[in-house]
């Protein structure tokens, strides 16, 4: 197993090392895949978006300047590839059903329904709020890293997350029996919603 850092691998790729980029991708592919799947909610689209992102990263490796971690740079490219696909289907957001779901597996069915509810609710959010929630609450990125990926201030990420959680709450708990925090893995209840009353700089789109 190579002990080279991510930056070393990227630099080696730019210098002509035929194996370096593949090693870098192998090291981080699972996290990048998770971001794509949770953002798009469709495995086929996520696979296409990830492929587009990796091709872009392969070709643009020479533009990396070391101003952010290589993982942050890669996440940003994946997020942008996903956003391109989100914009394309914005007029007709779809929630895919699982290909196989045994009718007698009630617990599994209930879990699937919950996941579909969450995906449908996320699809109603403004793009910038959705991406912040996916990165921070569903993928577990630190606010600082999510801010670097999205190219905004940390306060903006916090505000977007708070507003997104507040918007999800009535959608996921129409009868008062659910909370957005309980339905979305890793998502806490919107305790800090009040702090987001005033938009931060960059909270426009």
For residue range 153-198, list pLDDT tens digits in order.
999 999 999 998 888 888 776 554 343 343 443 444 333 333 333 3
Q: Is residue 54 part of a domain?
A: yes
| Percent of residues, the chain, with pLDDT higher than 90 | 27
- The reply to whether 39 falls in a domain is yes
What is the band of 114 on the pLDDT scale with cuts at 50, 70, 90?
low
Q: Are 165 and 193 in contact (CB under 8 A)?
A: yes
Give the model's pLDDT for residue 177. Answer: 39
Whether 133 is in a domain gets the answer: yes
How confident is the model at residue 169, as a pLDDT?
A: 83
| Domain presence at residue 163 | yes
Same domain assignment for residues 70 and 13: yes
57: Cβ–Cβ under 8 A, 6 or more apart, which residues?
21, 73, 74, 77
* Local confidence band at 77 (pLDDT 50, 70, 90 cut-offs): very high
Is pLDDT above 50 for 106? no
Identify the pLDDT of residue 55.
93
CATH number at residue 109: 1.10.10.10
Boundary-marking domain end, from 40, 62, 90 = 90
Check which CATH number belongs to the domain holding 56 and give it. Answer: 1.10.1740.10
56-93 core/surface letters (b: 16 or more CB in 10 A; e: else): ebeeebeebeeebebbbbbbbbbbbbbbebbeeeeeee
> Which residue range(s) make up the domain with 62?
1-90
């Amino acid at each position: 197993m190579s002990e080279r850092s991510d930056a070393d691998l990227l630099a080696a790729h730019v210098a002509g090392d035929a194996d370096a980029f593949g090693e870098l991708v192998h090291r981080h592919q699972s996290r990048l895949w998770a971001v794509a799947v949770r953002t798009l909610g469709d495995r086929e689209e996520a696979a296409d978006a990830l492929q587009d992102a990796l091709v872009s990263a392969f070709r643009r490796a020479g533009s990396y300047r070391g101003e952010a971690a290589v993982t942050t740079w890669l996440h940003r490219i994946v997020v942008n590839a996903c956003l391109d696909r989100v914009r394309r289907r914005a007029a007709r957001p779809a929630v895919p059903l699982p290909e196989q779901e045994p009718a007698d597996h009630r617990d599994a069915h209930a879990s699937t329904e919950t996941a579909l509810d969450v995906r449908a609710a996320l699809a109603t959010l403004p793009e910038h709020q959705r991406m912040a929630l996916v990165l921070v609450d569903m993928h577990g990125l630190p606010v600082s890293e999510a801010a670097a990926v999205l190219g905004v201030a940390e306060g903006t990420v916090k505000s977007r997350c708070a507003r997104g959680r507040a918007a999800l709450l009535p959608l996921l708990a129409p009868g008062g029996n659910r909370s957005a925090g309980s339905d979305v893995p890793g998502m806490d209840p919107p305790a800090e919603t009040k702090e987001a009353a005033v938009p931060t700089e960059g909270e426009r789109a």
